[in-house]
Amino acid sequence: MSATEIIFEVSEDELDGGYSASALGFGIHTEGDTLDELRRNVREAVDCYFDDSMNRPRLIRLHYVRDEVLVA
């Protein structure tokens, strides 16, 4: 993981709807009802987590994870 990039694993809640995101290697978690809301919340969460004394990432990468269950 680059110091200039932070990666969020994004998953969709199939039961309740909406999306959740967790940063890999950091204690940053957020959620949103839509993808647009999730993107805004991810940016806000990163802003809140990194203060002026920390090396702030320049890029935020969203990695979408989708599970598919098949009946055998």
List, for residues 13-39, the tens digit of each pLDDT value.
888 889 999 999 999 999 999 999 999
Is 71 inside any structural domain?
no
- CATH number where 16 lies: 3.30.2390
Q: Which residue has the higher pLDDT, 10 or 3?
A: 10
pLDDT at 15: 82
Is 10 inside any structural domain?
yes
The answer to whether 59 and 50 are in contact (CB under 8 A) is no
Structural domain for 34, as ranges: 5-65
Is 72 inside any structural domain?
no
Can you tell me the distance from the alpha carbon of 15 to that of 27, in angstroms, rounded to the nearest whole number? 25
Is 41 inside any structural domain?
yes
Is 28 inside any structural domain?
yes
Is 57 inside any structural domain?
yes
24 forms beta bridges with none
Mean pLDDT of 2-13: 89
Number of domains making up the chain: 1
